[in-house]
Amino acid sequence: MKNSNDKLVSLIMLCVTLILLILWIYNYYVDIDGSASIKDFNLRTLVLWGRSNTDLILIIYVFSCLQLAGISEFKQRQDYLVVALISLIFTPIGLLFIKEEKNDGP
């Protein structure tokens, strides 16, 4: 029962996040008076945005690394601190190369 409630809450949060993200992108391209503005969306504007929002990019990177470390902890039974440090230092893609250690015990 709890598992289905957790999945429902997670799905609702995911849907709300996607809706807010779509509205944010839509409002970026629509002016206050409702007319669509033509704005360049290319590599140059992305780099300029990144330079002015470095702190936001760093926060998003750390948050996503820690979230992926948590997922890796639950799915592959790994130590969270080790996985989090590997994720932060070597990027989250480094988590794909960590193998689960199996102890066959006596």
H/E stretch holding 3 reads helix 2-29
Residues 4-48 pLDDT 10s: 777 888 888 888 988 988 888 777 677 666 666 666 667 887 788
pTM for this structure? 0.56
